[in-house]
Amino acid sequence: MFQYLIKRLLYSIPIIIGITVITFAVMYFTPGKPVDTMMDFNPNITSEAKDRLVKLYGLDKPVHEQYWNWFKRVIVLDFGNSFKDGRPASEKIIERIPATILLNILSIILMLIVAVPVGIYSAVRKYSLFDRILTVIVFICFSAPVFWVALMLMIVFGLWLGWLPISGLTSFDFNELSFFAKTWDLASHLILPVIVSTLGSFAVLSRYIRSGMLDVLKQDYIKTAYSKGLSERQVIFNHALKNALLPLITIIGLSIPGLIGGSFIIETVFSYPGMGRLGFDAIMARDYPVIMGIGVISAFLTLLGNIVADILYAVADPRIRYR
């Protein structure tokens, strides 16, 4: 187990280097240089000043040198200063992380609470009325565009009914509220974004669990369990469930980057102060240090998520653990 872990971590080193190379290359080859936006709309700046700025950022050096300089700083999480307001990119990123984690943890919990029982039930009662209705709902959830659902919910619950706020994470008067009012204020701001970001993943996950469960119910050891005289309930909970939920680990592991990377669309539509919106704004402003910071962090987290998933898999599945 320990050896497995070490091996897994060593394998990830070349992948991390690859991630930084690709992130850097993508930015380097993107048309439009950062200095362009800073200069082009400002008539007071001469081309000499532009050259000086290029030099200042090291943009005149050869590619590999630029990459190496950048890489040395990335290792210590220094992505440079934002072009927009001069603050360190890492600082801007870190201050957005809690809001995004809050949103995503809540929606992962909601997703699991709803999708697991629903997936299992529709597998056990395959082709029943419930299963059919659910298939339709899942397809709607899956195919409706997130931004459209978000806008519709905002119109219905925010404008027509006026029950829920439609943007931000807190109200303007948040600091003057009592503790309970603060909690409700936060919760009411979270309801719509959490629901919207759960819908799509709920649809995918419940299908995964349904098909996983159907697959497990066809296995031979299920026949053994029935022939022991177990009831359907006992067969499902004592024998099928654990096997059917194994793939869930991968899915949760893969959702870790989204957990911190945030969703560009949802956060932008709801003006939610998280990483996703930071990334969106950074792209619009060609704020390279922030974009690259988010890119590297997200890629790194994807890798981490994979490793965590592999380890959890080994913990949950004895066949992998003892290999």
What is the number of H-type helices and E-type strands within the chain?
Answer: 15, 0
Nearer to another protein, 30 or 231 (CB): 231
The CB-of-255 to another protein minimum distance in angstroms stands at 23
Nearer to another protein, 132 or 242 (CB): 242
Which residue in the set 42, 231, 237, 284 belongs to the binding site for another protein (CB under 8 A)?
231
The CB-of-221 to another protein minimum distance in angstroms stands at 4
Which window, 15-23, 137-145, 149-157, 233-241, contacts another protein (CB under 8 A)? 233-241
- One-letter amino acid at 84 equals K
State the Cα–Cα distance between residues 293 and 164, nearest whole angstrom. 34
Residue 81 backbone phi and psi in degrees, to 5? -95, 145
Which residue in the set 230, 254, 265, 308 belongs to the binding site for another protein (CB under 8 A)?
230
**Binders of another protein: how many residues, by CB under 8 A?**
26
Which residue in the set 7, 52, 72, 228 belongs to the binding site for another protein (CB under 8 A)?
228
Which residue in the set 31, 43, 86, 229 belongs to the binding site for another protein (CB under 8 A)?
229
State the Cα–Cα distance between residues 286 and 281, nearest whole angstrom. 8
Residues in the chain: 323
Cβ burial, residue 110 (10 Å; 0-12/13-18/19+): middle
What are residue 81's DSSP bridge partners? 88
Query: Hey, which residues between 207 and 226 contact another protein (CB under 8 A)?
Result: 217-226
Per CB under 8 A, 30 contacts another protein: no
Copy the structure tokens of residue 23.
């992130």
What character string, x for contact with another protein (CB under 8 A) and - otherwise, covers 245-274? -x----------------------------
Nearer to another protein, 180 or 322 (CB): 322
Closest CA to 277 of 290, 264, 292: 264
Question: 3-state DSSP helix/strand/coil percent for the chain, to nearest 5?
Answer: 80, 0, 20
Per CB under 8 A, 322 contacts another protein: yes
Per CB under 8 A, 238 contacts another protein: yes
Per CB under 8 A, 234 contacts another protein: yes
Distance (Å) of CA 102 to CA 119, 122, 178:
25, 30, 21
Per CB under 8 A, 233 contacts another protein: no
Closest CA to 249 of 219, 202, 208, 297: 208
Q: Which residues bind another protein (CB under 8 A)?
A: 217-231, 234, 238-239, 242-243, 246, 316-319, 322
